Amino acid sequence: MHDPASVRQHLEALREAIREHQYKYYVENRPEISDAEYDALFRELLALEAAHPELVTPDSPTQRVGGEPATGFAPVEHLVPMLSLDNATSAEELREFDARLQRLLPGEPLTYVVEPKVDGLGVALLYERGVLVRGATRGDGRVGEDVTQNLRAIKSVPLRLRGPLAELARLEVRGEVYMPREAFVALNRQLEEEGQPPFANPRNAAAGSLRLLDPRLSARRPLDIFLYALSYAEPALPYTCHWDALQGLAAAGFKINPRRQRCATIEEVIAYCQALEAQRQALEYDADGVVVKVDRFALQQRLGATTHHPRWAIAFKFAAQQAVSRIKAIHISVGRTGALTPTAELEPVAIGGVTVSRASLHNEDEVRRKDVRVGDSVLVERAGDVIPQVVRVLLERRPVGTPPFVMPAHCPACGAAVYRPPGEVVVRCPNAACPAQLRERLLHYGSRRAMDIDGLGAAVVEQLVARGLVRDFADLYALDVPTLCTLERFATKSASNLVAAIARSRERGLARLLYALGIRHVGERVAALLARHYRTLDALMQAAAEELAQLPDIGPVIADSVSQFFAREENRRTLERLRAAGVRMEETAAAPAAGPLAGKVFVLTGTLPHLTRSQAQALITAAGGRVASAVSRKTDYVVAGADPGSKYQEALRLGIPILDEAALQRLLRGEA
**Chain positions contacting ligand IVH, by CB under 6 A:** 83-85, 115, 117-118, 122, 138, 176, 228-229, 291, 310, 313, 315
Asked if 151 and 292 count as a contact pair (C-beta separation under 8 A), the reply is no
Closest to ligand IVH by CB, 207 vs 374, is 207
Q: Are 374 and 405 within 8 A, CB to CB? A: yes
Task: Output the CA torsion sign for 477, 482, 488, 493.
Answer: positive
Among 117, 255, 293, 317, the active-site one is 117
Least separation, in Å, of the C-beta of 304 and ligand IVH?
12
Q: What is the dihedral of CA 347, 350, 351, 354, to 10 degrees?
A: 110
Strands 287-294 and 313-317: antiparallel
In the complex, the smallest distance separating the C-beta of residue 227 from ligand IVH, rounded to whole angstroms, is 9
All residues at 6 or more sequence positions from 628 whose CB lies less than 8 Å from its CB, including other chains: 601, 602, 603, 634, 635
Closer to ligand IVH by Cβ: residue 291 or 597:
291
Task: Report in angstroms how near the CB of residue 231 gets to ligand IVH at its nearest.
Answer: 8
The pairing of beta strand 75-77 with beta strand 143-145: antiparallel
- Of 270 and 334, which has the nearer Cβ to ligand IVH? 270
Residue 117 is a catalytic residue: yes
**Please, which residue, 316 or 490, has the CB nearer to ligand IVH?**
316
* Angle, helix 613-622 to helix 661-668, in steps of 10 degrees: 20
DSSP string, 633-660: TT--EEEE-BS--HHHHHHHHHT--EE-
| Position of minimal CB gap to ligand IVH | 122
Give residue 548's identity as a one-letter amino acid code: L
In angstroms, give the least distance from the CB of 307 to ligand IVH: 12
Nearest residue (CB) to ligand IVH, 310 versus 523: 310
Instruction: Report, in Å, the least distance between residue 124 CB and ligand IVH.
Output: 10
- For the bound state, the minimum distance from the C-beta of residue 518 to ligand IVH, rounded and expressed in Å, comes to 40
State the number of CA atoms in the 13 A half-sphere of 647 facing the CB.
24
CA distance 380 to 360: 10
Write down how long the chain is: 672
Task: Write the CB contacts of 505 (distance below 8 Å, at least 6 apart in sequence).
Answer: 446, 451, 452, 453, 583
Residue whose CB is less far from ligand IVH, 176 or 224: 176
Cα–Cα distance measured from residue 63 to residue 11, given in angstroms and rounded to the nearest whole number: 14
- Enumerate the H helices of 568-638 as residue ranges: 569-580, 613-622
Please provide the distance, in angstroms rounded to a whole number, between the alpha carbons at the two ends of the chain: 40
CB of 290 vs ligand IVH, minimal distance in Å:
8
Q: Quick one: 207 or 319, whose CB is closer to ligand IVH?
A: 207
Q: Which residues are catalytically annotated? A: 117
